[in-house]
Structure 1
């Protein structure tokens, strides 16, 4: 649908990070008043969910302040192998300076986020060449992408393999990616390769963000040069102080609007991206999530901080992400429950979807399209209530936001709890309690 807004200010607001938290809390307010159309809330279980997350933090970390940041970097460390740091160390030993190291890791992170796909096939796995170990799911995808990056698949220059550039992305084929993932087919990969080709065009169309002028090769990592030269960036003794508002429009260009570039798309709202109407809110319905863009920001901040000593000002605007493990936590703890009619409708959708080629046929799970109001409410409740849970966790553990940041809390407690509950609740597939139908234009 094409939104109608009273002013350009409405559009600017919905494109902002501030709107994500504010609008999701509007849905939370409706939940408290029992005015949601699709979920019932059991507020008495909020403290149970808080204690559950605390138990994971205490189990896995002696010192919560040492919890690593939430981001794609973690997936590269699967199996206890610091793959990225080892690679960075090798560059450093060859005399590569810090800013070029940062450009390279940003190149890798952008591709890794845009290809951050749940392979779908329960038996898909990737065998790492150097260790001969087998990895699955998002961690396996990450290790596969790293091997492709090291092989120079994303660079047009064989003498500079550790690079992602526009020309190489434009020439990328499905066969090359499938070979890289050691498989003959993968659900949703066709959409992801189109997303990479969109990235190639964006790199060329926005030389101000990604280079391209004065003979520079357009690449995602050149955003570091843009950020360093931006008039709002301040040089400090530790490193550059970069405002999140400066990074946000750069990230937004990379992928989110691709999903809504066609009028018949189901990936969001035209001109706004990951923004959806929530009928429970009445006339002023739109709720933004900007999940892909936020996932990119989380993943890009870490290399900037580690390699450049950068200080990113304004990260408190970032929210918990409405992904499967986080959203599943609210349902698997019994905190939110699908209304009976929606559950039955979701099971009917599941049965229809299971008849399609390549779709799972075990453990019946309510299934909905991304645009379904059930999914909109679920995602909004995930962001708002995990925000509230984060405050309760800190209060109970007597920790400040500086000692236990949101990014650490997500990494060390929320996501881990969601994943393990899914494994316990649905041991055959570890699927989330609600499935979002795999369809064109939806990047989830």
Structure 2
């Protein structure tokens, strides 16, 4: 039985509330690492609104999700795969979309500056998140995540448990000249995913055990076809919290993407704990479209938080909202679990909440038209990448160098 105070960390409400506690700590001047210039949020809002209007002149903005990356280079790759599915089975299409999204998101921690993927079909050479997306889609298309050659468009527990570094390296075109960050960490993540699926048949199926089994598990939790976004996240955190190789463990409970920070003081086992669940929330955003394609109305989108990753967080540093107390040195890599990085990530979540309304005002949209899922896409992620390239050309690395293992950033 999981202690209730630890179980409570598996929710977007806990992510938001504890990140705001860290913001309060920094605003009180107690941080050794950062100060916050709240006035600079206006500058950030101006920049984000400008980037959003340039990318989406009609302000018809999709969700921030893995599905955008599958369209890298302006090519729509998913429709070609979709044509190979039974045309009249919306439920199976949703399961396949969930399978693809789950494995692709879990492979979507930062690739680093050296790695890229060459897509033979298009002739395109693609790096970073988009390259990882296209590589994972092509591996999925080739049956690389399925244990049944007759059903290649599937990811199942058996195949995931057997994937090794050589297999992933072959599909992702890894070489000494273009190594991705954390290849072994990604393999471990997929292997752990397979084991986690196999131990939770209630969530992932009692026949073929696959991520897509989540569709059936959540079907009954969507009365009148309305499925709250936090319900998706909480199911993922319940079923997959043990997969993170570097995840925090307290009292024998695998908490996943959770850090420690002195700004959170509570009188129980969760003292100093700050949950983020970055990849799980990124995955939740990426599952909105599979569920909507199956006919569900996904609700409560803004109950999710902004993603505490280096594009959103880098934007806030580069435009002066988060101010380092000492100069940032690119050669000094900070561990993911360090107080400095935990604080940076928490400030990112909290300040993105404060940024949302100013950006909406500049675009003339309200919260229903422009939820966080669209601000991230429009939006802060692209703005973070652009300002990084301007400040640190040509590759645009984050302002803080991270010693990452491929499972968080």
Q: Same fold (TM over 0.5)?
A: yes
| Per-residue deviation, 1:429 | 3.0
1:24-423 equivalences under 5 Å are 24-64=19-59, 66-88=60-82, 90-91=83-84, 95-120=87-112, 122-184=113-175, 185-212=179-206, 216-228=207-219, 230=220, 232-235=221-224, 240-253=225-238, 255-259=240-244, 265=246, 267-270=247-250, 271=253, 272-281=255-264, 284-305=271-292, 307-340=293-326, 343=327, 347=329, 364=330, 366-423=332-389
Q: What do the CA deviations read for 1:235-272 (whole angstroms, capped 9, x no partner)?
A: 3xxxx212334323331145443336xxxx5x434322
Structure 1 segments of 4+ aligned residues over 4 angstroms from their partners: 281-284
Greater shift after overlay, 281-290 or 142-151? 281-290
| Per-residue deviation, 1:438 | 2.7
Question: TM-score by structure 1 length?
Answer: 0.85
- Residue 408 of structure 2 is matched in structure 1 by 443
- Residue 3 of structure 1 is matched in structure 2 by none
SS of aligned partner of 2:84 = helix
> Aligned pair in 2 of structure 1 residues 20, 149: CA closer, same or farther (>3 Å)?
same
Matched, 1:20 2:9: no
SS of aligned partner of 2:323 = strand
> What are the ranges of 5 or more consecutive residues in structure 2 without an aligned counterpart?
none
Q: What do the CA deviations read for 1:18-68 (whole angstroms, capped 9, x no partner)?
A: 11111111122223322222102222211111111111112222222x111
Instruction: Give the Cα–Cα distance (whole angstroms) in 2 for the partners of residues 290 and 241 of structure 1.
Output: 24
Q: What do the CA deviations read for 1:187-208 (whole angstroms, capped 9, x no partner)?
A: 3111111111111112211111
Instruction: Give the Cα–Cα distance (whole angstroms) in 2 for the partners of residues 439 and 117 of structure 1.
Output: 8
> What are the ranges of 5 or more consecutive residues in structure 1 without an aligned counterpart?
1-6, 348-363
| Per-residue deviation, 1:9 | 3.2
| Per-residue deviation, 1:398 | 3.0
> Quick check: 1:103–1:220 contact (8 Å CA) kept in 2?
yes
SS of aligned partner of 1:91 = coil
Give 1 or 2 for the bigger CA radius of gyration.
1
- Residue 359 of structure 1 is matched in structure 2 by none
Instruction: Give the Cα–Cα distance (whole angstroms) in 2 for the partners of residues 42 and 51 of structure 1.
Output: 15
| Per-residue deviation, 1:172 | 1.5
What value does the CA root-mean-square deviation take over the aligned residues?
A: 2.0
Aligned residues: 398
